[in-house]
Amino acid sequence: MSTEQTELTQTPLLKIWVPWAGGSTNQRRGSSRPQFTNSPTMIVMVGLPARGKTYISKKLTRYLNWIGVPTQVFNLGQYRREAVKSYKNYEFFRPDNEEAMNIRRACALNALKDIANYFAKEQGQVAVFDATNTTRERRGVIISFAKEKGYKVFFIESICDDPEIIEANIMEVKVSSPDYENCDKEEALEDFLKRIECYKTTYVSLDDESDRHLSYIKIFNVGSRYLVNRVQDHIQSRIVYYLMNIHVTPRSIYLSRHGESELNLLGRIGGDSGLSSQGKKYASTLSEFIRDQAIKDLKVWTSHMKRTIQTAEALGVAYEQWKALNEIDAGVCEEMTYEEIQENYPEEFAMRDQDKYRYRYPKGESYEDLVHRLEPVIMELERQENVLVICHQAVMRCLLAYFLDKSADELPYLKCPLHTVLRLTPVAYGCKIEPFYLNIKAVNTHREKPVNVDVTRMPEEALRTVPEHF
């Protein structure tokens, strides 16, 4: 064990202290990312068709990617559609259809191969294997595969016997599937129900006794009950917590920034200023808008900063202040204009343009830090129903990226203008987004990525995309 005192240097982008041994940083023992797990994890869905497996797969994948765990879905139905170009009818899924069985088995093996590739060559950390996996035999194949490769396995089984829920699922996502392009709704529904029957005869649920060594969660009737067995590590624990907090009750989430602030007008970032007169106009217009929406049991959330609270005050309803919704901390750049940042910290300014997601302001935060800070907000948003979140530009970008599944590269450039409300409504496997511009003029605060992000660039090149201000 070495006991030399190595010098430390701070990485310019992330502002992380690392040992500096004569220029090479290969001796890094300190990881700055929390270790969720030490081996790749396969999440394996289990359940009859129309039990929400794909819904859960996509949602979970979106969440894991947002919190920084590279995750991908491998949907067996898609592999099958590629192998069998046109779907005729449910007979393909009959348990005695040998030819189809072979095709389906080959598809499963292909998917597993792609999963191995995702882990080995694409730095994936979690793979979600979205298929029915309803027989012990199929699950056995997956378990052996994972064991051989050193992957952890976590099963998610969805069990539902409420015919109304099942029919609603089918109408929401199945009748519009590529499989049923040329059918009308009634035909699609009828065929799909027969498809489900094909699986029922061979369906063996995860069993308390025989599967007691496996790690899994069983979700009953869309979350009224859960059975959790042998959670192995942190990431599985987080997955369980997430699954236990999501619901499918229809609702809408409204995202908006505070009204235009005094500092906005001056082109200055951060700070804790109050609303400008336009901002106050927006607040009262927002109040009318919300009233007209006639939302049942609306919760209103703000940050701890004056401008969001002033905006909420105009609504005349109860609201909750969350420190976690505070704007990104710009550290030494707080309350500066972009011109001043360019003048005082040209290198920092360039680095930010090079990697806006990971860049951390000196004595401040990065978008990556913001996402970490906002995770409890997202978790609570999942639990809630109708919510209006009045927040800030960077914060709103992070929340929006979660709902719309935007990558880390896109996130810091999402357009979240002042005086615009975004209404997000979950639909099918994603989110419908409706923008409402409330027609109250405001400055533009969106700075696009300039063409030249090099530290050697001229000031004009850096400042080209700065929006106008006083």
Catalytic residues: 130, 160, 258, 327
252 binds another protein (CB under 8 A): no
Centroid of chain to Cα 417: 21
Rule CB under 8 A: is residue 321 a binding residue for another protein? Answer: yes
Nearer to another protein, 130 or 211 (CB): 211
Residues 6+ apart with CB under 8 A from 30: 17, 18, 19
Told to check if 390 binds another protein by CB under 8 A, we report no
Q: Pick from 115, 119, 148, 144: which is nearest to 39 by CA?
A: 119
Region binding another protein by CB under 8 A among candidate stretches 40-48, 109-117, 319-327, 419-427: 319-327
Name which of residues 77 to 96 contact another protein (CB under 8 A). none
Among 37-45, 113-121, 182-190, 380-388, which window interacts with another protein (CB under 8 A)?
Answer: 380-388
For position 135 contacting another protein by CB under 8 A, the verdict is no
C-alpha span between 353 and 195 (Å, rounded) = 52
Nearest to 373 by CA among 341, 399, 342: 399
Which residue type sits at 314? A
- Residues in binding contact with another protein, number by CB under 8 A: 66
* Interactions with another protein, residue window 265-284 (CB under 8 A): 272, 274-275, 280, 283-284
Dihedral sign computed on CA atoms, order 402, 405, 408, 411: negative
CB of 444 to another protein, least distance (A): 24
For the window 193-232, what string marks contact with another protein as x by the rule CB under 8 A?
-------------------x-----------xxxxxxxx-
378 binds another protein, rule: CB under 8 A: no
Under the binding rule (CB under 8 A), the answer on residue 6 touching another protein is: yes
Contact 399, 378 (CB under 8 A): yes
If binding is defined by CB under 8 A, does position 258 make contact with another protein? no
Nearest CA to 341 among 359, 316, 327?
359
Picking from 445, 437, 444, 446, the residue whose alpha carbon sits closest to that of residue 286 is 437
What 3-state class would DSSP assign to 354?
helix
Q: Calculate the CA dihedral of residues 341, 347, 349, 350 and round it to 10 degrees.
A: 150
Q: Binding to another protein by residue 295, rule CB under 8 A?
A: no
Taking the complex as a whole, the smallest distance from the CB of residue 78 to another protein amounts, in Å, to 32
Stretch binding another protein (CB under 8 A), from 23-31, 186-194, 249-257, 399-407? 23-31
> Which residue in 74, 87, 322, 403 binds another protein (CB under 8 A)?
322
Residue 106, Ramachandran bin (φ over 0: left; ψ between -120 and 50: alpha; else beta) = alpha
* 240, 241, 247, 252: CA torsion to nearest 10: -140
Q: Which residues of this protein are in contact with another protein, per CB under 8 A?
A: 1-3, 5-6, 8, 10, 15-17, 19, 29-32, 34-35, 212, 224-231, 234, 237, 240-241, 244-245, 272, 274-275, 280, 283-284, 287-288, 291, 299, 301, 304-306, 309-310, 313-324, 363, 369, 372, 380, 383-384
